[in-house]
Amino acid sequence: QVQLVESGGGLVQPGGSLRLSCAASRSIFSIYRMGWYRQVPGKQRELVATITSGGSTNYADSVKGRFTISRDNAKNTVYLQMNTLKHGGTEIYYCNAKRGELNYWGQGTQVTVSS
């Protein structure tokens, strides 16, 4: 079992930046892929970015060039640096850890982009 705890969400103005963190309860080195997803209340959860244990990354087209996912295996932590945030109301960002059939989610952290 892996517990994931997100932090770093909050209110930010359009064009601003936030860095989200996701701390895992134990070593995530052996977990194949970590990811960030987001969800608008009432809508489907969507992929934002993923990173493999080897450091390969993948991004949704909507965030390419603005968001950066990274991982620090020594700290059991995954980050999402979000720059040039666009006005979009409130979204919940979820951390994900996936290894084969095993799939874990954090409780989410709220991000509100508004002036």
pLDDT of residue 30: 63
Task: Inform me whether the pLDDT recorded for 49 exceeds 90.
Answer: yes
Task: Inform me whether the pLDDT recorded for 14 exceeds 90.
Answer: yes
**pLDDT, mean of residues 67-74:** 93
CA contacts within 13 A on the Cβ side of 3 = 2
- Which of 23, 59, 34, 45 is closest to 91 using CA atoms? 45
pLDDT of residue 43: 94
pLDDT of residue 27: 76
